[in-house]
Chain A
Amino acid sequence: MPFAIAGFGCGLIFGIGLVISGMTQPAKVLGFLDVFGAWDATLAFVMAGALAVSSIGYALARRRGRPLLAPAHLWPTRKDIDAQLVIGAALFGIGWGLVGLCPGPALVNLASLSPAIALFVASMAAGMIAQDIWRRRAPSVGEVEDAALATGADG
């Protein structure tokens, strides 16, 4: 139970951060990605603020040895830059650029009760499910990370 409460609290703070930063608004994210138009650099400030705090927090967590509520930190272990990473990041980049939504802001926006947001989240879930089914049927592709999918992925 404390584990779930910690999850809820962190999700809450994360979501508040997304709303305050303005990054739940797809139009504002597209404004950052539109470097050839009227560029809105806000997303860079959001990244800077996030990285300043998270890098210090991660360094402290590492020094402390183990998390408060679990036996060990589940740091991602992979180091190689493979074709899967490149292709996956590129596909995600196209989807992100088409609408201006990535998973976090999409989920926060569910609170708006917008049918368009619900459609996006349902499509995103369908894409994830389809990808996992396909990966299981074609074990030659990416079978190494399949076992560690839920915990060994980078994020």
Chain B
Amino acid sequence: MNEIENPVQELWQRQPVEGIKMPVEEIRRRAGKFERKIWWRNAREYVASAIAIGLFGYFYVTTHDVLSRVTFGLFIAAMTWIVVSLHWRGSAKKLPEGIDTLTGLKLYRAELERQLDVVRGVWWWYLAPLVPGFVVYTIGYGWGIRHPAGWAGLIVMDMVVAGMFVWIWKMNMKAARCLTRMIDELKVAE
């Protein structure tokens, strides 16, 4: 780097700077937007789970086959676990009023990190609990198959379910990458 050789360079390099940081209003705006997004995601999951639990409950009551009842029972337990886990781990948190910029940044970042843990752990709290139900369903369905075409149908169905699991996992990993970027951005602002 050169020494200052020109008065205009000196003028430029010694100009006063403001020390711009992310203001608390901006943090609050971003945190509010994120909170609403999380609230709607959870609301969708709660409604979908309630409908699924209702349907599985109906099937559980109306069927007389033991394996089917075990299947529907496992699905109901899994859906209940998912709703409780989501509420416990990933419910939307509001940024408190009257906080300074640094506290706001730290709280918002903590919330992003909490949601990052939720989406990164989707296999354990969302997908894995559904596996026993699908396994028992597959066994029960396979037990009653009398023709080779039935096996083909079962394999296709299991592949579709596996594909859905992979898709859900990938979507959550994409969300995790997005959250990581947001956290990195806040680290810079801090």
Q: Is B truly associated with A?
A: no
Q: Which residues of B contact A (CB under 8 A)?
A: none
Q: Which residues of A contact B (CB under 8 A)?
A: none
